[in-house]
Amino acid sequence: MEMTLSKRQKARLESIIKQAEMILREASASATRSAGARKANSANTKGKKSARAAGSRRTAADAAALRKEILAARKKGARVAELAKKYGVTQSYIYQMR
């Protein structure tokens, strides 16, 4: 049984695939970041529980570093869409940083 798809259906499927890939990338990056944060927190707190749950919001230091990197890339002429994809934020968030 052969299934033919219209251009619109193909485009919708491609966008769904891209979204799924982005979700997987973000989950992988989040797991990596939270594992690193847990190691750093456990080394610094020596048994104390962290106030920040794994996978929650960015810390102020992380947000500042992210903002600094994005603004530096924007000064060099990087495209907003590429930066948003790379850092896992929305394009409007990047435009609001100005």
Q: How confident is the model over 62-83, as pLDDT tens digits?
A: 999 999 999 999 999 999 999 9
Q: Bigger pLDDT: 55 or 84?
A: 84
Q: Could you tell me the pLDDT band of residue 36, with boundaries at 50, 70 and 90? A: low
pTM strictly above 0.75: no
Q: Bigger pLDDT: 58 or 14?
A: 14
Task: Express as a percent the part of the chain with pLDDT over 90.
Answer: 57
Average pLDDT over residues 80-89: 93
Q: What is the pLDDT of residue 96?
A: 93
Q: Could you tell me the pLDDT band of residue 17, with boundaries at 50, 70 and 90? A: very high
Q: What is the pLDDT of residue 38?
A: 60
Q: Please choose, from the candidates 13, 12, 85, 89, the residue with its C-alpha nearest in 3D space to the C-alpha of residue 57.
A: 89
